[in-house]
Structure 1
Amino acid sequence: MKTRVTELLNIKYPIIQGGMAWVAEHSLAAAVSQAGGFGLIGAANAPVEVVREEIRKARELTDQPFGVNIMLLSPHAKDIAQMVTEENVAAVTTGAGNPEPYIPMWKEAGIRVIPVVASVALAKRMEKHGADAVVAEGCESGGHIGQTTTMALVPQVADAVRIPVIAAGGIGDGRGMAAALMLGAEAVQMGTRFVVAEESIVHENYKQKIIKARDIDSEVTGLTTGHPVRSLRNQMTREYLRMEQEGASFEELEYMTLGSLRKAVMDGDVKGGTVMAGQIAGLVKKEQTCAEIIQEMLSEAGALLKKDWNIG
């Protein structure tokens, strides 16, 4: 199955795993890449040597290409931006900041640059500054979100830029993949479904919270602060929304969520922690291996698009 994205990243299938903080570590990234997709290690706020070690551990598990997602607001972003050139990763995806200062360095090192964008204007700007592709991420996704839905955003971005577009947000099965390709995307990026993969190190409580979720169980917090986040409804989101409505300061709200994602992912606290997940959580019904997830998606999408892809 060839698209410009599969050729750009030298992968078999146009399925990319999101670079989720605390979730996207070496074992998940390697499993996705080994299955023919493109795995990402989420750098989040981790120090540079921690991320370097994750890259080297992934290389012990797969000889297939994978990348690193760099959260540019991290205090370690500059060091990690340099380190990925030393480790010669296949691609970098970026979020929460402006990657422009680093793009020439990455391009010179032969690293593919794929920023995550939530608007047409940002997609055009990234293309102008040398990005190889963009991830157009709709507000259905888990974690930090923009305002536009995937259905509306992807075709507008695809019309506005010449570089390949990867669709993200609200995609959890072959139907979503087929729809994204019809909208003009040349690959999809998924987070929530890979959270419950067998190779994911996420606490079982977190996985079960997603598997048991209904279509209406996600909540957006932080709208008043300008930093909206989608996660599954629980005690923490209820308290956060109450404080928001009562006019709590940004600092108070930030303090409340400090370390809350790690609490949910690593410790399994799905009541007081932040259980980031997209609106497709209601579609996710079971744990599967990364290979099973990818093969199932390709079979579904191929049948819908009447494509006889060589899968396996």
Structure 2
Amino acid sequence: MKTRVTELLQIEYPIIQGGMAWVAEHHLAAAVSEAGGFGLIGAASAPPEIVREEIRKAKELTDKPFGVNIMLLNPNADEVAKIVVEEGIQAVTTGAGNPEKYMSMWKEAGVKVIPVVASVAMAKRMERYGADAVVAEGMEAGGHIGNQTTMALIPQIVDAVNIPVIAAGGIGDGRGIAASFMLGAEGVQMGTRFVVADESIVHENYKNRIVKAKDIDSVVTGQSTGHPVRCLRNQMTKEYIKKEQEGVPFEELERMTLGSLRKAVMDGDILNGTVMAGQIAGLVSKRQSCKEILQEIMGEAEKLLHC
């Protein structure tokens, strides 16, 4: 399947793996790229030299293109932005901020810039500043989310910009890809489906929690603070939402979640950690390799789209 996204990133399938903090490291990124998609290393709040090390480890596992996701609120964002240039990274996706100040440096180095956006206004702004594409992410996604649904957001952004649009949020199989293409997208970004991949380093407890998730198991914390995060229900989310409703100060709520994602991903504490996952978790019913995931969903999508 050829689209402007596959041409832009020089990949076989128009599928990007989400740059999930603690999850998107070199094993997963390399495996997705090797399988024909576009893997991402999630820089999150990692120290710059760790990001450089992850990039170099991924290069040892694949000679296919892969990228880095940069969380712009990261105090180390300036250094990480330079590292992607120094290490010859093909593309960056950005979140939690505005990448404008890095655009000229990246463009001069030939780095493709693909910001994650949650509104038409931000998509248009990113296009003006030279973005090569945008990831339009609906609130069905796991982790930090916006307010618009994927179904409503994608066609509005497609109509508003001329650059390729990559759909994200609530996409986990070939039907989701086909639907996204019908809405005008030319690629998709998936996170939750790849969390349970064989090559993912995520703790077994976390993977099993996603596989066993039902359609109603997703919940959003932080609605009252303006920092909504989608994850799977557990003891932590129950206590967090109770305190939110009681009007507990933001600082106290923040302390509750400090280090909680790592606790779930690395230690397997799925009761008190933050089990970030999208609403699509209820559709993820099995564990597979990245190659199997990509081949299965692309087979489904191509059949539906009559490619």
- The TM-score normalised by the length of structure 2 is 1.00
Indicate yes or no: 2:163 matched with 1:152.
no
Q: CA deviation at 1:13?
A: 0.6
Instruction: Give me the whole-angstrom Cα distance separating, in 2, the residues matched to 1:60 and 1:76.
Output: 25
Amino acid in the other structure paired with 2:267: D
1:85-96 paired onto structure 2 within 5 Å: 85-96=85-96
Give ranges in structure 1 of 5+ residues lacking alignment: 308-312
Superposition RMSD in Å: 0.4
2:263 alignment counterpart: 263
Instruction: Give me the whole-angstrom Cα distance separating, in 2, the residues matched to 1:306 and 1:125.
Output: 35
Indicate yes or no: 2:201 matched with 1:218.
no
1:310 alignment counterpart: none
Q: CA deviation at 1:305?
A: 1.1
- Determine helix, strand or coil for the equivalent of 1:115: strand
- Determine helix, strand or coil for the equivalent of 1:275: coil
- Determine helix, strand or coil for the equivalent of 1:297: helix
Indicate yes or no: 2:213 matched with 1:202.
no
1:11-160 paired onto structure 2 within 5 Å: 11-160=11-160
Amino acid in the other structure paired with 2:16: I
Instruction: Give me the whole-angstrom Cα distance separating, in 2, the residues matched to 1:33 and 1:103.
Output: 24
Instruction: Give me the whole-angstrom Cα distance separating, in 2, the residues matched to 1:33 and 1:83.
Output: 20
1:242 alignment counterpart: 242
- Determine helix, strand or coil for the equivalent of 2:200: coil
Identity of aligned residues (%): 77
Amino acid in the other structure paired with 2:28: L
Instruction: Give me the whole-angstrom Cα distance separating, in 2, the residues matched to 1:111 and 1:205.
Output: 37
- Determine helix, strand or coil for the equivalent of 1:53: helix
1:272 alignment counterpart: 272
2:172 alignment counterpart: 172
Q: CA deviation at 1:17?
A: 0.1
Q: CA deviation at 1:136?
A: 0.2
CA offset digits 1:64-88 (Å, max 9, x no partner): 0000000000111111011111001
Instruction: Give me the whole-angstrom Cα distance separating, in 1, the residues matched to 2:249 and 2:128.
Output: 37
CA offset digits 1:277-311 (Å, max 9, x no partner): 0000000011100000000011101111111xxxx
- Determine helix, strand or coil for the equivalent of 1:70: strand
- Determine helix, strand or coil for the equivalent of 1:230: strand
CA offset digits 1:6-43 (Å, max 9, x no partner): 00000011010000000000000000000000000000
- Runs (4 or more) in structure 1 with deviation over 6 Å come to none
Instruction: Give me the whole-angstrom Cα distance separating, in 1, the residues matched to 2:124 and 2:27.
Output: 34
Amino acid in the other structure paired with 1:238: K
Instruction: Give me the whole-angstrom Cα distance separating, in 2, the residues matched to 1:85 and 1:229.
Output: 31
Instruction: Give me the whole-angstrom Cα distance separating, in 1, the residues matched to 2:168 and 2:258.
Output: 26
Amino acid in the other structure paired with 2:168: A
Amino acid in the other structure paired with 1:294: L
Q: Count residues in correspondence.
A: 307
Q: CA deviation at 1:159?
A: 0.4
